[in-house]
Amino acid sequence: MRFIQRMKMAWNVLTGRYSGLGYDFTKWFSPSNIFAGKTSNTLATVETIFAAVSRLSNAMASLPLKLYQDYTPVNNPIADLLANSPNPNMTSFDFIRTMEVCRNTHGNAYALKIYDDLYQVAALLPLDPSRVEPVIEEKTRELWYEIEGDEGRYFVHNMDMIHVKHIPTVGQSLAYHSVGYKGISPIDVLKNTVDYDGKVRTFSLEQMNSAILASFILKLGANVSKEKKAEILNNFKEFYQANGGVIIQESGMEITPIERNIIDTKVFEVEKITRGRVATVFNMPVHMLGETEGHSYSSMEQLSLEFVQGTLIPIVRQYEQELNRKLLTKRQRSRGLGFKFNVNALLRGDIKTRGDFYFKGIRSGWFTPNEVRAYEELPPMKGGDKLYMSRDLTPIDQREGQPEQEREEVIIRR
Quick one: how far is CA 283 from the chain centroid?
11
Q: Please state the domain extents for the chain.
A: 3-185, 216-257, 349-414
> Which residues lie below 8 Å from residue 168, measured CB to CB, with a gap of 6+?
179, 180, 181, 182, 183, 184
pLDDT band at 18 (very low <50, low <70, confident <90, very high): very low
Whole-prediction pTM: 0.72
Higher pLDDT, 372 or 403: 372
Does pLDDT of 22 surpass 50? Answer: no
Using CA atoms, how far apart are residues 75 and 73, in angstroms rounded to an integer? 7
Q: What is the pLDDT of residue 386?
A: 86
pLDDT band at 31 (very low <50, low <70, confident <90, very high): very low
First to last CA, the chain: 51
pLDDT at 381 over 60: yes
Q: Please name which of 51, 35, 58 lies closest in space to residue 274, comparing C-alpha atoms.
A: 51
Q: What SS3 class is residue 339? A: strand
- C-alpha to C-alpha distance for 151 and 42, rounded to whole angstroms: 29
CA nearest neighbour of 395 among 381, 383, 406, 379:
406
Give per-residue pLDDT as tens, 36-65. 455 556 666 678 899 999 999 999 999 999
Percent of the chain with pLDDT over 70: 67
Render pLDDT for 133-178 as a digit per residue (tens, 0 to 9).
999 988 888 999 999 877 788 899 999 999 999 998 776 554 444 5
Between 255 and 244, residue with greater pLDDT:
255
Least-confidence region, from 186-200, 294-308, 334-348: 294-308
In which band, very low, low, confident or very high, does the pLDDT at 124 lie, cut at 50, 70 and 90? very high
Looking at per-residue confidence, does 318 or 305 come out higher? Answer: 318
Residue 224 has pLDDT above 50, yes or no: yes
pLDDT of residue 336: 93
In this predicted structure, the answer to whether residue 366 has a pLDDT above a threshold of 60 is yes
How many C-beta atoms surround the C-beta of residue 183 within 10 A? 21
Q: Encode pLDDT of 201-211 as tens digits.
A: 676 666 655 55
- Which percentage of the chain shows pLDDT scores above 90? 35
Q: Are 155 and 147 in contact (CB under 8 A)?
A: yes
